[in-house]
Amino acid sequence: MQSLVSPEPRGERPIRRRATVEASLQADEALQLIAEGVTKVAGFGVAAISVAREDGQLHVTAVAGSEEARAYLEGTRTPVAELLAELERGDEWGRFRFVPHDRMSDHEGEWGWVPDVETSDAEGAWHPLDLLAAPLRDAHGRLRGTLSIDLPSDGRVPGPEKRRVLDLYADQAAQAVVTALEREELAAEVRLATAARRAVRTSPSHHSLQQVLDDARGPLLEGFGALGLWMHVTGEGDGVSAVHSSDGRDLQLPPDLVALATGAAGSLWELERVAVIDPDRREPLLSTEQEQQVRALLTELDVGVAMIVPLGLGSECVGVLVLTRARGGLAWSDAEEGAALEVGRDLGGAVLRAQLMEREHRLVQQLRELDGYRSRMVATVSHELRNPLTAIVGHLEMLEGHPEVGGNAVASLSAMESAAQRLTRLADDLLMLARVTAASEADPADRPPLAPVDLLAVVTEIVELLAPENARRRQQVQVEVGPGSTVVLGDRDQLDHLVSNLVGNATKYTPDGGTIRVHLAGPTSDARPSEVVLAVVDDGIGISEADQRLLFTEFFRSEDTRARQQRGTGLGLSIVRSVVRRHGATIEVESAVGSGSTFRVRFPAPA
């Protein structure tokens, strides 16, 4: 994958404070989710997201699609200047830049991870040295990271339709990267004063912005001995405000005063100070007219002194806090003004955290909508493929039986029929996966109801269907039924697919003459009386630990040469996983290379 790795040594990552690391870990999950979405939905073998750091390097943060690429790329760095210079050689595709391999500059040694795939001279074919990357910028146009992708599944340079899909993911990646960096900057700058700490403690991180403002009320009123307070936070629309008084009165502030306070907050933040409205003191930041207007309102509210505190973090002012004291009360001391400024910084940090959390919630929702779009797209494509493939297979069968067709033509027709049937199986698997996934992710109230299904009947039917293949390969299939009922609440069609995939895989990967055991046990008085257990045990080729971690991933195929000899879509165990989730069950895998495999599904027993 081009654009990701500097030819310089990796070196050690810079040491960051613990708070920064903890904040970045949460954002990294969103980046990894986006990278995985590109590989699954957009059809690319590898996707990587890098984040721009203060050292002028792009640090690879998330890699999806290839364990080999992840092992090579994670933690590596690329100079920002070098990447931007490289992208200038390419064509502009929306957010992305495409640099064909013949325009790439010459580098000593490897520029990055290069996939080990055969090159093709065909027009529009993807070359392993092609570079496709999207610079991710914030609202101010600053480069904050990159999204790089490689290995299109169809082996071709993306067309206009696929580029539009890629642009959607680039938008999501840009938001996530900006959010990640903002969270780190926030964690690095926050220094909590006593009052702000109390406000943060009473405002959990999952609270909304309005809840943060409400939770800060008590500590601020008590900490500063204030009669009342008003907070206004800038943001989308008209922002968010909270007005409170110590006696519970509902205060309404005139729009002119709101505009005055919010306008003064920006200047106060730049000057790093607060503004005090006191009968014995002139506030130079306000004009005479503005000060008179404020004093008139304070008199109306029976307030003697007020302090305007800017809320912000770093260079950004995010709102304003106004604290008031009763007429005849104590004036604000220098120490209190200094503490209020610190509280403004701390509360600004809490506000920014809440804003970032709300943005992350919106981002997650958008990702869910994209995933739903993916499921709908897969279901639609599978359904549209199914009908023409059925017609193709039917006509091929007719041609094979035609008296004028013979010799090599019959062999060609047979090969085409076999290929069409493979595509049909793929379409069927995709359609089933989309249906099961949609049922699993739907609101419980909208899911089709589950009905009692006898797993023994399902197992018996599947074993009978596979009996000719088992007999041809001299395999023994033993069905063992333990004590207890084998009835579960489920979807019969989905359970058929689950058992068919598990027993079918055992048949495929067990050598001729081997043994396959299917064991069923219902609820008993043993250690787990509330489960119905289905276990499929074989003495086949086994599964490595590395493959077991990816076993249920869509389209995953083992690198084991013996496993590669068996045809498959790579979707069977993905369907099994989705069916297991749909039924509230769990699945366990016990295997070792050369020692066979055991797949054990634990279903909740019906009440």
| pLDDT recorded at residue 1 | 47
* pLDDT reading at 202 higher than 80: no
CA torsion through residues 430, 435, 436, 438, sign: positive
How much is the average pLDDT of 73-79? Answer: 86
The residues near 553 (Cβ < 8 Å, ≥ 6 apart) are 574
Tokens of 130: 């092609």
pLDDT, one tens digit per residue, over 420-461 is 666 666 666 666 666 666 666 555 555 667 899 999 999 999
Picking from 117, 132, 31, the residue whose alpha carbon sits closest to that of residue 74 is 31
Environment class of 20 (CB within 10 Å of its CB; exposed 0-12, middle 13-18, buried 19+): middle
* pLDDT band per the 50, 70, 90 thresholds, residue 15: very low
Q: Coil, strand, or helix at residue 407?
A: coil
342 contacts 294 by C-beta, under 8 angstroms? no
* pLDDT reading at 172 higher than 70: yes
Environment class of 519 (CB within 10 Å of its CB; exposed 0-12, middle 13-18, buried 19+): middle
* pLDDT reading at 478 higher than 90: yes
Matching residue, tokens 């307030």: 303
| pLDDT recorded at residue 532 | 92
Q: Residue ranges per domain, the chain?
A: 18-188, 190-360, 375-441, 448-604
Tokens of 168: 């959607």
Rg of the chain over CA atoms, in angstroms? 32
32 contacts 64 by C-beta, under 8 angstroms? yes
pLDDT, one tens digit per residue, over 58-71 is 988 889 988 888 88
| pLDDT recorded at residue 97 | 92
Q: Coil, strand, or helix at residue 199?
A: helix
pLDDT, one tens digit per residue, over 115-158 is 777 778 888 898 888 899 999 988 888 898 999 989 888 889 99
pLDDT, one tens digit per residue, over 493-548 is 889 989 998 999 899 889 999 999 999 998 864 545 689 999 999 998 888 888 88
190-360 matches 18-188 in CATH topology: yes
| pLDDT recorded at residue 249 | 57
Task: Give the angle 524-527-528 at the CA atoms, nearest 5°.
Answer: 65
| pLDDT recorded at residue 193 | 40
CATH topology of domain 190-360: Beta-Lactamase (3.30.450)
| pLDDT recorded at residue 239 | 53
Tokens of 106: 């010459």
How much is the average pLDDT of 371-375? Answer: 59
* Residues of the chain above pLDDT 70, percent: 71
Q: Which of 16-25, 383-392, 497-506, 577-586 has the lowest mean pLDDT?
A: 16-25
Q: Which of 287-296, 331-340, 428-437, 485-494 has the lowest mean pLDDT?
A: 428-437
| pLDDT recorded at residue 533 | 93
Q: H helices then E strands: how many in the chain?
A: 15, 19
* pLDDT reading at 279 higher than 50: yes
How much is the average pLDDT of 200-205? Answer: 52
Task: Give the angle 70-75-78 at the CA atoms, nearest 5°.
Answer: 105
Residue 487, beta-bridge partner list: 454
How much is the average pLDDT of 373-383? Answer: 57
* pLDDT reading at 12 higher than 50: no
DSSP string of 432-472? HHHHHHHHHHS-GGGSPPPEEEEHHHHHHHHHHHHHHHHHH
**18-188 in CATH: which number?**
3.30.450.40
C-alpha 83/C-alpha 7 separation (Å) is 12
458 contacts 492 by C-beta, under 8 angstroms? yes
Considering only residues 295 and 79, tell me which one the structure prediction assigns the higher pLDDT: 79
Per the prediction, the chain carries an average pLDDT of: 77
* Residues of the chain above pLDDT 90, percent: 15
| pLDDT recorded at residue 452 | 93
| Residue 48 to residues 30, 58, 137, 146, Cα–Cα distance (Å) | 13, 11, 16, 8
CATH topology of domain 448-604: Heat Shock Protein 90 (3.30.565)
Tokens of 590: 């016990």
Matching residue, tokens 């909508």: 369
* pLDDT band per the 50, 70, 90 thresholds, residue 176: confident
